[in-house]
Amino acid sequence: MSVASGKVTGAAVVAGVCGQPIRHSMSPVIHNAWIAAAGLNAAYVPFAPAEDRFETFVDGLRGGAIRGLNVTIPFKEQALACADRCSDLARLAGAANLLVFEADGAITADNTDGPGLLDAIAVQAPGFDLSASPVVILGAGGAARGAAAALALAGAPRVSIVNRTFARAQTIATSIGGVVEAASDDQLDALLGEAGLVINATSLGLGGGPGPAARLELTPPTAVVVDMVYKPLRTQFLRRAEATGRRTVDGLEMLLRQAVPSFEAFFGVAPPAGVDVRALALAQLGEAAS
């Protein structure tokens, strides 16, 4: 059944995104554009359950009410706890942004934020070798946690987390372990001097303010700088990195890439080629496509 005919029938596959708030989520725009272009009989809708009702909400979806759910702030940790099975990455990250409702009533959880980050780096900084040098993550919230787990699994030699609240960085380092460590502000300059990859996973810079004050000019010239913040698209942090000649990766690419495995899990096909979801997302953000 083609959506070109404008129909979502009783046989439609339904998926969605759940967060609180959810009004500004870009996921419905992205997934519904792919659904339309692929001619699927499907729909992708937003949900905003009350913060203390997430578990009840998810339990009600068991057994096939919908095919799956993306999960965003503040529910990613609860999403993992609700699941009966999870990927190694979701377990290591301690958070899930993808729930799939199996026909037998079970819930499977995964985390596509980290793979989205890695794919965005592959697209915007081609040839970058993650195994060659250490990583510095600024911030220790949910986004940092997912990134640290994926980077550790993907073979980064060291992942140092620097955060305003040191105890949160320590919590992540303890739960992921291995190459992931917490580092203090005092260590940051020395860490930047060796870093192959620097990631802003704080909310600093959101809405156009100055990003983290990290001295990006200390990084090796080959370093890649990522900003998870995507509003504005060219954050001050990315502009500073560009001014020092470093390659940059924007948060919008990460957002778009994390949606790909979710779409495949929900609808059983890859997103169709030829849909400029980046331009659609930029339009929603109020930015011109570049």
Active-site annotation, residues: 76
Chain centroid to Cα 149, Å, comes to: 12
Is 148 a residue that touches ligand NAP (CB under 6 A)? no
Q: CB of 113 within 8 A of CB of 147? A: yes
Q: CB of 136 within 8 A of CB of 195? A: yes
Nearest residue (CB) to ligand NAP, 33 versus 40:
33
Do the bridges between strand 98-101 and strand 68-71 make them parallel or antiparallel, or are there none, so unpaired?
antiparallel
Upper half-sphere CA count for residue 67 (Cβ side, 13 Å): 17
- The residue assigned the tokens 């697209």 is 123
Of 32-40, 81-89, 197-205, 280-288, the window that binds ligand NAP (rule: CB under 6 A) is 197-205
Of 16-24, 102-110, 136-144, 217-225, the window that binds ligand NAP (rule: CB under 6 A) is 136-144
**Alpha carbons 239 and 236: distance in angstroms, whole number:** 5
Do the bridges between strand 107-110 and strand 98-101 make them parallel or antiparallel, or are there none, so unpaired?
antiparallel
Nearest residue (CB) to ligand NAP, 75 versus 230:
230
Is 165 a residue that touches ligand NAP (CB under 6 A)? yes
Residue choice 14, 43, 81, 206 for contact with ligand NAP (CB under 6 A) = 206
Is 204 a residue that touches ligand NAP (CB under 6 A)? yes
Is 142 a residue that touches ligand NAP (CB under 6 A)? yes
Q: CB of 72 within 8 A of CB of 48? A: no
x/- track of binding to ligand NAP for residues 65-104 (CB under 6 A): --------x-------------------------------
Q: Note the residues at the interface with ligand NAP (CB under 6 A).
A: 73, 113, 116, 139-144, 163-165, 168, 201-204, 206, 228-230, 251, 254-255, 258
